[in-house]
Structure 1
Amino acid sequence: MTFLAAVTILFSLFAIELIYFKVADHFNIIDKPNARSSHNSITLRGGGVIFCLSGIIFFILSGFQFQYFIIGLIAIATISFIDDILTLNNKIRLSVHLIAVLLMFYQWNLFELAWYWIPIALIFVIGTINAYNFMDGINGITGSYSLLAIATLYYINNYVVTFISSDFLIVVGLSLLVFNFFNFRKRAKCFAGDVGSVSIAFIIVYLIGQLIIKTGNFNYILFLLVYGLDAVITIFFRLMKKENIFEAHRSHFYQYLTNERGWSHLLVSVGYFIVQLIINSAIIFLLKDSFYMAIFFVFVSVVAFLIIRFLTEGKRKLLG
C-alpha cells in the first residue's frame, strides 16, 4: 500500500467516524453510567463500528479477498450493533455469532482437518470474543491493546513469516488509530460498544488463527495473554463465590484498579499495553516455537498475576 493510499484511507475513516457521531447523537445511541460502569458520564456508543468498516474497505480495494471471513465479520458486527441499541435475546445473538465463526473456520479451511479441531476452535474463538467484550470497560484499553496486537502481527508478517495481506493489517491499524484518537483520553468522545469490541476481537482471532495454521506454532495465542489472565481468573473467582458469571459485574482486575483504587483509565490501559508488549517481545525473540518454554511462561504468569491480585485485593474480596 502506498503512503498516499494509507493517508486517504485514514482521513476517510476519520470522516466516517465523525458522520457516525452525528447519527449516534441523532438517534440517541449512548452509554449511560450504571452501578457496574467504570465511567460517570453519558457517552456515544458504537464508535468501534469503523473496525468492521475497515474490513469492508479492504475487501473492496483488494478485489474481494477473504470473502467468507468478511461476510462473517459483517454478520457479527451487525448483530452486535443491533444488540447495542435494542438488547437482543441471547439465543439470537449467539446463533449469529456461531454462523460468523463457522464462516471464519471455512476461510481457514479448518473443515479439511481432523474433526476434533472444530470443537476446540469453537471454544477458543467464542471464548476469546466474549472475553474481549467483557474487557472493554475503560477508556483506551480496547483500542490500545488491539493496536498492539495488530502492530505485532504486522511485524511478524513482514519480518518473520508472511501469513496475511499487509494491506489488511494496515487498514485495520488505521481504524484503531482513529478510534484511539476519540477514545484514548480522560473523557472519551465515544465507546467501542459491542459492535467494536466484538468486531476487533473477531478480526484479531482470525489473524492469530491464520498465523497458527501457517506456522503450526500455538505460542502465538499468548499475544492475548493479559486479557486471557484477567478474564479467566476473574471467572474462576466468581465461580468460587457462586456468582452468576453471565451477569454484568465489576470484578475484573482493571475494574478494581480504576473503581476501587482510583487509578486513571489511561494509566491502567497503558499498564496492560506495556505488560502485553513485554510478553509479545518474549514470544517473538525468546520463546519462538518452544512449547515447553511457553507452558512454563504461562505458569509463571498465572502465579504472578494471582499473587498481585491477592496482595492488592485481598483474600476476602476475591474468594468471599
Structure 2
Amino acid sequence: MNYVWCIPIVAGISFFLTSRLRNYALSRSLMDIPNARSSHSTPTPRGGGVAIVVAFLFASGLLFYFDEIPLANFLGMTVAATAIAVIGFMDDHGHIAARWRLLGHFTAAVWLLGWMGGFPPIALFGVHVDMGWAGHVLAALYLVWLLNLYNFMDGIDGIASVEAMCACLGACLLYWLAGLNNLIGGPLLLAASVAGFLYWNFPPAKIFMGDAGSGFLGIVLGGLSLQGAWVSAPMLWAWLILLGVFIVDATFTLFRRLFRGEKVHEAHRSHAYQFASRRFSRHLPVTIGVGMINLFWLLPIAVCVTRFGLDGASGVILAYVPLIFLAIKFRAGNEEDSAV
C-alpha cells in the first residue's frame, strides 16, 4: 500500500481545485439559477465536480505507477470515466441531445468492459452463474444506468458526495476484512477525491458538482464494483447493497414516471430525497440521513454477505425492502404537485 501517503495530497488537490473552480464560476457567472424544478433557492456556482475528476485521475496514475492496478483496469477505467466527464462538462456548459449523450455513455461502458473482461460470473443463491454475452449486455446497461442515476440523485447539497464516500469507505472495509488489500486503493483514493470537494458542497453548498462530476462518479463506482466482483463474486452484491439508497430511489422513481407516461429524460424533482428535503425544508437532514442508512443498515448487511455467508441476492433483497418502503413513504415518482 505504497499509495497511503498520497491520500492527503489527493484530498488537497480536490479541495484547492474546487475553490479555484468556484472563483472561476463566480467570475464568469456560471451559476445554477433556481427554477420550478430545482431543489435549491439560491443561485450557486456549478461545475465543481471537475475537481473530483482531476484528483482521481491523478490518484489512478499513482496507483498504476505503484503497480496497485493492472494496465487493463487503468486504461479501461480512466479512459471511460474521462469520456463521461467530458460529455457531462459539455452538457453543463451547453446542451447535448439525449440520444447523443446515451450513445457516448454506452460507448464508454463498452470500452470499460472490454478492458476489464466484461461481466464476471456471479454467485446466485449458492450457484455460480456465467451469463456469457447476456451478462456483458447486462453489465453495459448496469454501468449506463448507474452513471445516469447518479446524475439524477445529485439534486441536493452533499448527497452525491456522502453516498460516494460511504460506498467507497464501506468497500475498503469489506476488502480489508476479506484480505483483498490490493483492491483498497481505488475506492480509498476516490473517497479522498470526493472529500476535498465535499467541504465546499456540504449543506449549505457553496458550489455544485454538475454532470461532469456526477456521471464520472457513477461510472467509476460501477467499474470498481465489477473489478471487485472479478476477484470475489460476493463483492458485486456488496457494492449493490452499499449503493442501495441511490439505486432504489432512482429506479423506483423511474418506473413510476414511466407508468404515468412521462418523458423520463426531462428534468423533474420527484425523487424521494427531493420530496424529503421539501418536507424538512432543509437539505442537511436528508443528506445526514443517507449517511446514517449507509453506515447502520447497508454496511452491516454487506459485511454479512462478504464475511458471514449471507447469500448475496438475499442480502440485496433484505437491504432494499426498507428502502422501498421509504421511497413509498416519501412519494418517490409521484407528481410534483402532490402533497408532501
Is the pair's TM-score, using the shorter chain for normalization, greater than 0.5? yes
How many angstroms apart in 1 are the aligned matches of 2:315 and 2:18?
Answer: 40
2:209 maps to a residue whose letter is A
Corresponding position of 1:68: 76
1:252 maps to a residue whose letter is H
Distance 1:35 1:281, change over 3 A: same
Corresponding position of 1:287: 305
% identity of equivalent residues: 26
Corresponding position of 1:7: 8
Distance 1:283 1:82, change over 3 A: same
SS at match of 2:280: coil
Q: Is the CA contact 1:164–1:207 (under 8 Å) kept in the aligned structure 2?
A: no
SS at match of 2:45: strand
- Counterpart pick for 1:231 among 250, 263, 270: 250
Q: Does 1:118 align with 2:119?
A: no
Distance 1:316 1:145, change over 3 A: closer
Structure 1: state its 5+ residue gaps: none
Q: Does 1:183 align with 2:184?
A: no
The within-5 A match list for 1:159-308 is 159-162=177-180, 164-186=182-204, 188-217=205-234, 218-220=236-238, 221-259=240-278, 261-288=279-306, 293-299=311-317, 302-308=320-326
Deviation at 1:111, TM superposition (A): 7.8
Distance 1:125 1:139, change over 3 A: same
How many angstroms apart in 2 are the aligned matches of 1:107 and 1:49?
Answer: 24
The within-5 A match list for 1:132-151 is 132-151=150-169
Structure 2: state its 5+ residue gaps: 66-70, 121-129
Aligned residues: CA RMSD: 2.8
Distance 1:274 1:315, change over 3 A: closer
How many angstroms apart in 1 are the aligned matches of 2:14 and 2:160?
Answer: 18
Cα deviations across residues 298-320 of structure 1 (Å, max 9, x unaligned)?
445555445445555499869x9
How many angstroms apart in 2 are the aligned matches of 1:128 and 1:68?
Answer: 17
Bigger mean CA deviation after superposition, 237-246 or 66-75: 237-246
Bigger mean CA deviation after superposition, 86-95 or 116-125: 86-95
Bigger mean CA deviation after superposition, 41-50 or 210-219: 210-219
TM-score (normalised: structure 2): 0.83
How many angstroms apart in 1 are the aligned matches of 2:46 and 2:333?
Answer: 35
Bigger mean CA deviation after superposition, 111-120 or 30-39: 111-120
